[in-house]
Amino acid sequence: MRDHSPMHGPSCLTRPFRPVLVGVACLAVAACAGEVPAVAPALILLPEPVATAAPLPGGDAALRRLHFRDRHGEGLLVLERRSETLEHADSGEVLDVVVLTAQMHARPGPHTVWSRQWHRQIRQPCAGLDLDAGWLLEHVGVTDLDGDGQAEITLASRTFCGGGGDPHQLHVSLIDGGTRYGIEGDAGVSLPGEEPRGGERHDSANLAAAPAPFVQHLDALWAAVRAQPITM
């Protein structure tokens, strides 16, 4: 499984996170100066936009669109899933591949053009075994956990290539502006008469330094997806 993502850590941060302590200090200074402090606009979830002259991003292939407004304008998260085949470069073997794609589009307001901000792609190839991959749509969402008026995107998915006794791979992430925090691992397997196998968890290198609300959110999300029954 290969995960293609343009975001790998703090070096990709386009909008620096400001700790709560700094925000409190700024509010105190503003109050002393007799000024009214600026308040970040609240995140608003919107109905799915209607296609007009141009089709919506993702077209008919979109599994789900999440439409919202934050301090930057309108955002549209588009989730897709497609199947394809790939010929192995060395052996010539034909592999079945499931491709999961998440794309974020933005525009400053209604009746303007959508522009793609980022995309995240997970590819699961498989040869001669059971293949399955999909977005866990009930765990995908939009939040503003740190209250800065900028939306965070939560993604959750699973992938599988193996037999009946192999664990499913799990992927959860939170994307804030240009930074992605994530956890990957597997659901683990418990078979009668055998010791449990798997159950690994691997945090992204930057998760330890993430804002506390992000860490708490991803910990709870990881626990939820691990506990979710797997159906093929």
pLDDT in tens, the chain (232 residues): 545 554 443 333 333 323 222 222 222 333 334 444 456 788 999 998 887 767 889 888 899 999 999 999 999 999 999 999 998 888 888 899 999 999 999 998 888 889 999 999 999 999 988 999 999 999 999 999 999 999 999 999 999 999 877 899 999 999 999 999 999 999 987 667 666 677 899 999 999 999 999 999 999 999 999 988 766 5
Determine the Cα–Cα distance for residues 136 and 142; give it in Å rounded to an integer.
14
Q: What are phi and psi of 141, to 5 degrees?
A: -165, 180
Cα distances (angstroms) measured from residue 173 to each of 12, 37, 68, 154, 164: 15, 32, 19, 6, 27
Residue whose token pair is 């994530």: 182
The 8-class DSSP code of residue 97 comes to: E
Query: Is position 124 within any domain?
Result: yes
**What is the reported pLDDT for 197?**
72
Q: How many domains does the chain have?
A: 1
Q: Which two tokens stand for residue 185?
A: 């691992």
Domain range for residue 97? Answer: 2-7+19-227
**What is the reported pLDDT for 31?**
34
The 8-class DSSP code of residue 9 comes to: S
Query: Is position 101 within any domain?
Result: yes
Query: Is position 12 within any domain?
Result: no
Query: Is position 13 within any domain?
Result: no
Determine the Cα–Cα distance for residues 222 and 217; give it in Å rounded to an integer.
9
Residue whose token pair is 């491709």: 99
Query: Is position 95 within any domain?
Result: yes
Query: Is position 93 within any domain?
Result: yes
**What is the reported pLDDT for 51?**
74
Closest CA to 159 of 75, 98, 87, 69: 98
Query: Is position 232 within any domain?
Result: no
What SS3 state is found at 230?
coil
